[in-house]
Amino acid sequence: MQKRTVTVNNQIGIRARTATIFLQKAGEFESSVHIKYKTALVNGKSLLGILSAQILGGSEIEIWTDGADELAAADALVDLVNSGFIDY
């Protein structure tokens, strides 16, 4: 299992558009993906899960990946969040 802490580098946080981008990237990997924000731990491959966490811009989240390609998944998802979702 990989656990990475990253700051959401956009003003609005993770909302519908950015959640969809996150889902598309997470879907490229067979590993399970979870996002921990405050006390919430949500499925990173579920739109409703991500939206229910109400992740604000500038907040720290943890991305947890587990599976055969967990390292590549963690790296790609951290890069996505670090980019502010603008390169995708």
Give residue-wise pLDDT tens across range 69-79: 999 999 999 99
The domain locations on the chain are 2-82
> What integer pLDDT is reported at residue 87 of this predicted model?
63
Enumerate the β-bridge partners of residue 61. 6
The full length of the chain comes to 88
**What local confidence, expressed as pLDDT, does residue 48 receive?**
97
Question: What is the CA 53 to chain-centroid distance, rounded?
Answer: 11
Give the pLDDT confidence of 20-62 residue by residue, as tens digits.
Answer: 999 999 999 999 999 999 999 999 999 999 999 999 999 999 9
Superfamily (CATH) of domain 2-82: HPr-like (3.30.1340.10)
Question: What pLDDT score does 79 carry?
Answer: 96
CA atoms of 46 and 15, how far apart (whole Å): 13
What one-character DSSP code corresponds to residue 37? E
CA–CA separation, 45 and 28 (whole Å) = 10
Banded model confidence at residue 86, pLDDT cuts 50, 70, 90 = confident
